[in-house]
Amino acid sequence: MTGDLPGDLLGDIYRRCSSPYDRVRFAAVCKSWRAAASCQPELPAVPLLYPSTGDGFLDKKAQAYNPEDGGVLRAGLPWFSYGKRVVGSYQGSWVALAADDWVEIRNLFTGARAPGKGRIACTCPASPQFTGKIIITKLVFSKYPTSDDCILAAITTGCKIALRTLACSSAGWTTLGCGTGMRLVDIAFSNGELYGLTSDGMLYKAVISINESNDKVDIALHKLEIKIPMMFGARYIFELGDKLAAAYEVRPEGRWKARTFKVFELVNAQLSKYTWVEVMSLGDHALFLGPGCCKAVCVSASVCLSMHVPRA
């Protein structure tokens, strides 16, 4: 009886299957249902949340969680490097895995590696070189990790910020902020431009230049005349649609255990005059924030991955 349903009705049913598992089950019903599924446009990827502690023993026991299904994947991620911390992610299941000052870019479902593997060493020209231990706390991508013009930007405990281009495999990291009092708590690319947020709520915009050989990146940070209101809890910046957005924790007066978040978009009202405008709805976007002790969105405590399930 199910094979007698008209194609337009089957297509409507398929589009209501938000879960990738439901889509696979739909295509497995019979030949006509499988044909109807193959005619439908690709649905958006489903995010997965995955705990990353940097402890190999604990990470082997962890399971990826699908918030849409409200359940976990029974099988582990096949290409996860246990014992390394996830410090960044990008759509298509790409993650940045770090061990202290060493980083690699890997696809957790295909095992593919993107350029960018290596150690971040201090190259700060204006300050005494950092001699302590460098630890990478967050890494963001300007574009898809396999793009030649992709730029990696990282926050570290020593040199504050580090950049490198993937256009040249021999390119090294450029570092900035060694010996300064600046403390970046988050960074994000928005419309191809890099922004940084400091612990005191100040926002910086980076001016990035690459030499003709594509093997060296120069960076300068410029403070914007805009500040996130000081709050007691965590603060994050990220790209929301085509704008830079910020989320910060709000604790109502007298209610220290009650925590909520407010979200704002950065608006350039006039030339070089910025303002924060509160966002009352995220539309069809979802925002995953780690605990207050985490320093990045969907990083450290959890990482947001895109999972694509092949059609049957």
Residues 53 and 36 in one domain: no
Domain enclosing residue 25, as ranges = 1-43
Q: Is residue 264 one of the residues assigned to a domain?
A: no
Is the distance from CB of 263 to CB of 212 less than 8 angstroms?
Answer: no
Residues 210 and 77 in one domain: yes
pLDDT of residue 305 exceeding 60, the answer is: no
Residues 28 and 100 in one domain: no
Residues 65 and 164 in one domain: yes
Q: Is residue 211 one of the residues assigned to a domain?
A: yes
Q: Is residue 124 one of the residues assigned to a domain?
A: yes
CA distance 292 to 303: 15
Q: Is residue 3 one of the residues assigned to a domain?
A: yes
Q: Is residue 266 one of the residues assigned to a domain?
A: no
- Give the DSSP H or E segment for 87: strand 85-90
- Give the model's pLDDT for residue 309: 40
Residues 19 and 60 in one domain: no
For 69-113, write each residue's pLDDT tens digit: 777 777 777 788 888 888 888 887 888 999 888 999 998 888 888
Q: Is residue 222 one of the residues assigned to a domain?
A: yes
Residues 49 and 111 in one domain: yes
Q: Who's near 94: CB < 8 A, 6+ residues apart?
A: 105, 106, 107, 108, 114, 141, 144, 145
Residues 32 and 68 in one domain: no
Name beta bridge partners: 267: 275
Q: CA separation (Å) from 235 to 35, 172, 264?
A: 47, 30, 11
Q: Is residue 36 one of the residues assigned to a domain?
A: yes
- pLDDT over 70, % of the chain: 79
Looking at residues 299-305, what average pLDDT do you find? 41
Residues 37 and 104 in one domain: no
Residues 113 and 20 in one domain: no
Angle in degrees, CA 218, 193, 180, rounded to 5: 50
Of residues 10, 19, 64, 13, the one with CA closest to residue 43 = 19
pLDDT of residue 196 exceeding 60, the answer is: yes
Number of domain units in the chain: 2
Q: Is residue 280 one of the residues assigned to a domain?
A: no
Residues 196 and 123 in one domain: yes
For 2-32, write each residue's pLDDT tens digit: 557 777 888 888 887 766 677 778 888 888 8
CA distance 13 to 30: 14
Residues 65 and 114 in one domain: yes
Which three-class secondary structure state does DSSP give residue 107?
strand
Residues 83 and 187 in one domain: yes
